[in-house]
Amino acid sequence: MSKNLLSHRLFWPFAVLVLLLVLNIFFSNNFFRITVHDGHLVGTLIDIARRSAPLILVGVGMTLVIATGGIDLSVGSVMAVSGALACLLIGDLSDPHSVAGVLGAVLLALLLCLVLGVWNGFLVSVIGIQPIVATLILMVAGRGLAQLITDGQILNVSSDPYRVIGAGYFLALPVSVLIAAAVVLIASLLTGRTALGLLLQAVGGSPAASRLAGIQARGLTWLVYVIAAVCAGIAGLIYSSNVASADSNAAGNLIELDAILAVVIGGTALTGGRFSLSGTVLGAVLIQTLNVTTVSMGIPVEATLLFKAIVVVVLCLSQSPAFRERVFSRRKPALTKEAAA
């Protein structure tokens, strides 16, 4: 029984998450307390969930891409583009508080992200460029595009309807968390209840074999890049709405790395095939909890990255079959490993 639990692939990430949460009890009072303030739930845990929302969204798209054996480096740039266009359009509205106008701007921004996703997918599935290279193009050029949209400025917007996306509350819960939850729900229904999940795993396992089995590998690969870009676009809207501005440099900076990390922590192999959406959500929450914990433990901001590096190393090694074999088999190779590392 206990052995089954230990060998579950999400055991170690989950254990680290629990450990981090427990650690927080010692360093901050009221860590687990959730109070109702102005009809909103308020508390550190809610805060962690709220901050995790963009990463979860990006992570869901990334999981699907990685499931097909690909990778999407452009998500951070897409986030910047979507926030930039939405803020530009809202700034041009005659009445920035009109719901219809904001809705139009948001939809147009997501449409642009969709186009960017189509571009990524086209390069990978039709032209046949390696995913890491294909998406590198947009990663470099996308931020330039975002700066082009905002003319290199940080665009500030004051629009109540737009503010709701990132900072609003609905039924006492943050809207951003609800959006993320909805996307996760839709994605897990699509992959769990329809054949989509199975087909994605087949494509990731072996594109050639899946093609021979009659799966539209090209179309599916194309689709996941579009989904990833739209997810990143929504995340970009949440981010820019939360800070009520579009900052082309800060928005989604390095989020592609965090998202890939979340996916890997969640037990999805970068080589494609088997994937786990719940694992990715767990990974994303773990990364955000890690960020919060370093602050509440009084670890100076400077050491946050160092702390993160150590956790990443420990997690990746604990998940590496080669490492487990060398360490737990108590044979001679354990010595050579230590000498080498």
| C-alpha to C-alpha distance for 240 and 144, rounded to whole angstroms | 17
Site for other proteins in 207-266 (CB under 8 A): 248, 257, 260-261, 264
Residue 144 beta carbon to other proteins: minimum distance, rounded to whole angstroms: 3
Q: Kindly indicate which of the ranges 90-98, 214-222, 275-283, 295-303 contains the residues binding other proteins, using the contact rule CB under 8 A.
A: 295-303
Tokens representing 341 are: 């590392």
| C-alpha to C-alpha distance for 281 and 330, rounded to whole angstroms | 34
- Is 274 a binding residue for other proteins by CB under 8 A? The answer is no
Tokens representing 236 are: 């970009």
> Are residues 162 and 32 in contact, defined by beta-carbon separation less than 8 angstroms?
no
- Is 152 a binding residue for other proteins by CB under 8 A? The answer is yes
- Is 142 a binding residue for other proteins by CB under 8 A? The answer is yes
Spatial CB neighbours of 319, under 8 Å, sequence gap ≥ 6: 9, 12, 264, 265, 267
Q: Which of 321, 328, 330, 332 binds other proteins (CB under 8 A)?
A: 321
Interhelix angle for 160-167 vs 175-193, to 10°? 60
Count, residues in the chain: 341
- Is 148 a binding residue for other proteins by CB under 8 A? The answer is yes
Q: Kindly indicate which of the ranges 42-50, 86-94, 181-189, 306-314 contains the residues binding other proteins, using the contact rule CB under 8 A.
A: 306-314
- Is 117 a binding residue for other proteins by CB under 8 A? The answer is no
Residue 120 beta carbon to other proteins: minimum distance, rounded to whole angstroms: 11
Site for other proteins in 42-71 (CB under 8 A): 69, 71
| C-alpha to C-alpha distance for 248 and 34, rounded to whole angstroms | 34
Q: Which of 1, 3, 171, 302 binds other proteins (CB under 8 A)?
A: 302
* Minimum CB distance to other proteins smaller for 44 or for 247: 247
> Are residues 159 and 102 in contact, defined by beta-carbon separation less than 8 angstroms?
yes
Tokens representing 309 are: 């590096």
> Are residues 238 and 35 in contact, defined by beta-carbon separation less than 8 angstroms?
no
- Is 87 a binding residue for other proteins by CB under 8 A? The answer is no
| C-alpha to C-alpha distance for 310 and 316, rounded to whole angstroms | 10
How many residues in the shown chain lie near other proteins by CB under 8 A? 56
- Is 307 a binding residue for other proteins by CB under 8 A? The answer is yes
- Is 129 a binding residue for other proteins by CB under 8 A? The answer is yes
Q: Which of 19, 144, 172, 219 binds other proteins (CB under 8 A)?
A: 144
Torsions phi, psi of 309, nearest 5?
Answer: -60, -45
- Is 291 a binding residue for other proteins by CB under 8 A? The answer is no
Torsions phi, psi of 170, nearest 5?
Answer: -135, 125
Q: Which of 37, 309, 331, 335 binds other proteins (CB under 8 A)?
A: 309
- Give the residues across from 334 on adjacent strands: none
- Is 330 a binding residue for other proteins by CB under 8 A? The answer is no
Computed on alpha carbons and rounded to an integer, the radius of gyration of the chain in Å comes to 21
- Is 298 a binding residue for other proteins by CB under 8 A? The answer is no
> Are residues 191 and 197 in contact, defined by beta-carbon separation less than 8 angstroms?
yes
Residue 44 beta carbon to other proteins: minimum distance, rounded to whole angstroms: 24
* Contact residues: other proteins, CB under 8 A: 69, 71, 123, 127-134, 136-145, 147-148, 151-152, 248, 257, 260-261, 264, 270-272, 300-310, 312-313, 316-317, 320-323, 326, 337, 340-341
